[in-house]
């Protein structure tokens, strides 16, 4: 039972006495812990250096994980309403990581004009273990209803450009494009959260150094980043730097929480050094990309999608759009561009106990897909942290899609969002356990474009 609520910087202590549970008294260490009173600006202050790494040529992934209704979307996107998934661009104190990252990205690009960096966006949701191209949907493109599939090639890193990619020239463009696609993301009212996301959202910003000769902006392929920087001893160094997961204990604003209901979460300061760099585990993936499934969704799969307001009918055409739509078969020769680095912003669907969220029918099926894919993510991190020979990336589309950031060469930042509410203690402990596991995943030197790999600050 909670007796006090205080926190320090890097450690979470969970103390809880409940009739049904034995005494819980566990301590978890993280690089940073944010209390409920800390602003979005403070949170972004710790994320911001990763944007510099991105400009330096490192792939970067920022991911929010946690129970439904605990603030993942708030953290990643900011407060949102039905009409406005992301607040308009501007000096908004509650803007989330995504719009702030967009602002910082374009600020850094403007500071480094000699690099000629160009930014393209692609946005997907992983819904019921299928990948859907939200940008194609937002554009009403013919391919929008198609399921996509993560594709891994062992020998060569290659991305088949079948996802829609749109160029953005400013933070405002970036946020507006993301906001448009987010209107189409699956969500549902549950007992825990009135606007629960039912899919994992992945926003990818690809930085390129401009099209290679002959390359049309609509037909770009993939080429490894700066081969000089990524080669070491004759082989490509595949590494990752896992920055430890900051934790955001948040009071759950929309639950029936009462003060006496809280789990005791207190925070004590304990320094925790970053683990030293280690080589990637055996069996690390070579690489992954995304390709469109040739198969159109079955009537059953179409029916799986919740009827969302504003969701364009599958197969409808419209709008303007030069998105990076499917541009031929994977084997077809395509003009290539020089990819500098990628930024992936991942707002995971929340883990959920069906008994608490009160879902039934198709919503229960969604919950089961969400929980299974999050379990698959935890399994992958567990296998990586234990240096197992086989890493089960292919057990879910989510882990397959994120394969090269989980076990590959990206700097990965996991934000854990937890509720201090006593009735959610089981989910809170699961979430903290996930974060602890993520911290154990070995880190290496990232294969960025800059000559000297650097640790995230």
Ligand X SMILES: Nc1ncnc2c1ncn2[C@@H]1O[C@H](COP(=O)(O)OP(=O)(O)OP(=O)(O)O)[C@@H](O)[C@H]1O
Residue positions forming the annotated binding site: 66-73
Q: For ligand X, which is the closer residue by CB, 146 or 185?
A: 185
Specify whether the CB–CB gap between 131 and 277 falls below 8 A.
no
Q: What is the Cα–Cα distance from 171 to 205, expressed in whole angstroms?
A: 12
Q: Which two tokens stand for residue 245?
A: 């997961």
Q: Which two tokens stand for residue 299?
A: 């009537």
Q: Which residues pair with 183 in a beta bridge?
A: none
In whole angstroms, the minimum distance from the beta carbon of 402 to ligand X comes to 17
Among 267, 266, 268, 264, which residue's Cα sits nearest to residue 425? 264
Pick out the residues of the known binding site for ATP: 66-73
Specify whether the CB–CB gap between 408 and 285 falls below 8 A.
yes
Q: What is the Cα–Cα distance from 150 to 41, expressed in whole angstroms?
A: 34
Report the residue closest to ligand X, judged by CB. 350
In whole angstroms, the minimum distance from the beta carbon of 433 to ligand X comes to 18
Among 442, 347, 65, 382, which residue's Cα sits nearest to residue 391? 382
| SS3 category, 411 | strand
In whole angstroms, the minimum distance from the beta carbon of 70 to ligand X comes to 4
Binding residues (CB under 6 A) for ligand X: these are 66, 68-74, 79, 193, 195-197, 250, 253-254, 349-350, 417
In whole angstroms, the minimum distance from the beta carbon of 202 to ligand X comes to 14
CA distances for 439 relative to 11, 266, 389, 394, 442, angstroms: 13, 20, 19, 22, 8
In whole angstroms, the minimum distance from the beta carbon of 72 to ligand X comes to 4
What residues contact residue 155 under an 8 Å CB cut-off, 6+ apart? 286
| SS3 category, 183 | coil
- Here the contacts of 87-95 (C-beta below 8 Å, separation 24 or greater) are 88/175, 89/171, 89/172, 89/175, 89/176, 93/39, 93/40, 93/41, 94/39, 94/40, 95/40
In whole angstroms, the minimum distance from the beta carbon of 411 to ligand X comes to 23
Q: For ligand X, which is the closer residue by CB, 8 or 195?
A: 195
In whole angstroms, the minimum distance from the beta carbon of 76 to ligand X comes to 8
Q: For ligand X, which is the closer residue by CB, 73 or 243?
A: 73
In whole angstroms, the minimum distance from the beta carbon of 320 to ligand X comes to 31
Q: For ligand X, which is the closer residue by CB, 145 or 245?
A: 245
Phi-psi region of 214 (alpha: psi -120 to 50; beta: other; left: phi over 0): left
Q: For ligand X, which is the closer residue by CB, 35 or 281?
A: 35
Q: For ligand X, which is the closer residue by CB, 193 or 342?
A: 193
What residues contact residue 56 under an 8 Å CB cut-off, 6+ apart? 341, 448, 449, 450, 454
In whole angstroms, the minimum distance from the beta carbon of 80 to ligand X comes to 7
In whole angstroms, the minimum distance from the beta carbon of 431 to ligand X comes to 11
Q: For ligand X, which is the closer residue by CB, 334 or 367?
A: 367
Q: For ligand X, which is the closer residue by CB, 197 or 226?
A: 197
Q: What is the dihedral of CA 188, 68, 174, 323, to 10 degrees?
A: -50
Helices (H), 48-192: 49-55, 72-77, 97-111, 134-138, 171-182
What residues contact residue 43 under an 8 Å CB cut-off, 6+ apart? 34, 75, 97, 246, 248, 415
Q: For ligand X, which is the closer residue by CB, 71 or 264?
A: 71
Q: What is the Cα–Cα distance from 118 to 259, expressed in whole angstroms?
A: 49
Helices (H), 250-298: none
Q: For ligand X, which is the closer residue by CB, 253 or 433?
A: 253
DSSP state, residue 140: T
């Amino acid at each position: 039972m909670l007796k006090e609520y205080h926190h320090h910087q890097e450690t979470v202590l969970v103390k809880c006495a409940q009739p049904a549970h034995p005494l819980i008294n566990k301590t978890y260490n993280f690089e940073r812990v944010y209390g409920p009173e800390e602003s979005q600006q403070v949170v972004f202050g710790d994320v911001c250096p990763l944007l510099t790494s991105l400009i330096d040529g490192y792939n970067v992934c920022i991911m929010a994980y946690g129970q439904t209704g605990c603030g993942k979307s708030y953290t990643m996107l900011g407060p949102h309403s039905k009409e406005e998934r992301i607040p308009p661009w501007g000096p908004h104190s509650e803007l989330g990581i995504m719009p702030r990252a967009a602002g910082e990205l374009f600020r850094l690009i403007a500071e480094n004009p000699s690099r000629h960096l160009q930014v393209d966006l692609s946005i997907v949701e992983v819904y019921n273990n299928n990948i859907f191209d939200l940008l194609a949907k937002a554009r009403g493109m013919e391919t929008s209803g198609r399921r996509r599939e993560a594709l891994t090639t062992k020998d060569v890193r290659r991305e088949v450009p079948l996802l829609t990619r749109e160029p953005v020239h400013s933070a405002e463009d970036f946020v507006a494009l993301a906001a448009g696609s987010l209107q189409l993301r699956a969500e549902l009212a549950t007992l825990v959260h009135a606007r629960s996301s039912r899919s994992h959202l992945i926003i990818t910003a690809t930085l390129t150094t401009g099209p290679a000769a002959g390359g049309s902006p609509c037909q770009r392929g993939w080429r490894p980043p700066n081969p000089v920087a990524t080669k070491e001893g004759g082989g490509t160094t595949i590494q990752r730097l896992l920055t430890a997961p900051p934790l955001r204990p948040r009071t759950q604003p929309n639950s029936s929480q009462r003060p006496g209901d809280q789990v005791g979460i207190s925070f004590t300061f304990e320094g925790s050094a970053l683990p030293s760099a280690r080589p990637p585990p055996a069996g690390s993936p070579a690489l992954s990309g995304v390709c469109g499934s040739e198969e159109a969704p079955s009537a059953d799969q179409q029916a799986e999608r919740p009827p969302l307001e504003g969701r364009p009918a599958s197969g409808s055409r419209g709008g303007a759009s030069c998105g990076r739509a499917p541009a031929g078969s994977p084997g077809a020769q395509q003009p290539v561009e020089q990819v500098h680095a990628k930024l992936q912003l991942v707002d995971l669907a929340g883990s959920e106990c069906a008994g608490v969220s009160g879902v039934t029918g198709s919503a229960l099926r969604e919950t089961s897909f969400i929980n299974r894919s999050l379990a698959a993510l935890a399994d992958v991190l567990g296998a990586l942290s234990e240096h197992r020979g086989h890493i089960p990336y292919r057990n879910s589309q989510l882990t397959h899609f994120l394969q090269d950031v989980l076990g590959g060469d990206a700097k990965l930042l996991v934000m854990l969002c937890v509720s201090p509410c006593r009735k959610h203690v089981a989910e809170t402990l699961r979430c903290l356990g996930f974060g602890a596991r993520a911290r154990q995943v070995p880190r290496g030197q990232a294969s960025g474009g800059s000559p000297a790999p650097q640790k995230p600050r």
